[in-house]
Amino acid sequence: MSDLNGKKVAVLVETEYIPGEVEYYRSFFEKQGAEVEFMTYLWGNTERTIVSDVDSEDKQVEKMVVTKEIADANPNDYAIVLTAANYVAVRLREIPPMGCLANADMVRAPAAVRFMANAMMNPYVVKGALCHALWILTPVPELLKDRRVICHTVVLADVVNAGAIYVPDESHVVIDRDLVTGRSAADIDVYCNALVNAYQNITENPIK
């Protein structure tokens, strides 16, 4: 029986998600016995349709209906919480209300940033960030300070400036106890197995 049997996994998504990545999470974690909940901003609606990224001319835009609002979710209800790859984190950092000018003091305000920041404060919830996803935490740099991570080179400067320790591991995945990071969506298989291993290790070796 999987350690995730009966547990919940939260996946933060937005427009420009990668369809294959999202479907991999659904299939992988459901096979582990977990319930997978995809969440995004619904902007006051009961559901919202987001569209996928298209990285070549022969690919078609795909659509995904999301019914879970991030602002209503509690990260402590989940065994694993993760932000999807690509430019999902960029869109999730949109400062409400959408389209406002805002100011530098409001960078921590978006619900997705607060959700992941609160998750970082619970060492028994495994956090996952693949590819560009650590961008969701750079508004709260103290939570990345001295954490061992790997990420896409696009976000490397921001992640290092936030105080994280970049580890160019040949496996393309780095586990820092409750924080699991992967270099890109191409590494999703190793990354997902690392998430499960991290959760198992935390369960078997609680902090004293």
Name the pLDDT band for 208 (thresholds 50, 70, 90): low
- More confident call, 100 vs 49: 49
Write down the pLDDT at residue 99: 80
The closest alpha carbon to 4, from 37, 38, 32, belongs to: 32
CATH code, domain with 115: 3.40.50.880
Cα distances from 138 to residues 75, 114, 116, 144, 173, in angstroms, run: 18, 12, 11, 7, 19
Take residue 194 and report the two structure tokens written for it. 């690392």
Mean pLDDT across the chain: 94
Write down the pLDDT at residue 2: 66
Name the pLDDT band for 137 (thresholds 50, 70, 90): very high
CB 127 within 8 A of CB 116: yes
Q: What whole-number distance in Å separates Cα of residue 38 and Cα of residue 197?
A: 22
| 33-50 average pLDDT score | 97
Question: Considering its fold, how many domains does the chain have in total?
Answer: 1
The pLDDT tens digits for 138-163 are 999 999 999 999 999 999 999 999 99
Name the pLDDT band for 9 (thresholds 50, 70, 90): very high
pTM assigned to the model: 0.95
Give the structural domain span for 13.
Answer: 8-204
**Residue 159 within any structural domain of the chain:** yes
**Residue 136 within any structural domain of the chain:** yes
**Residue 1 within any structural domain of the chain:** no
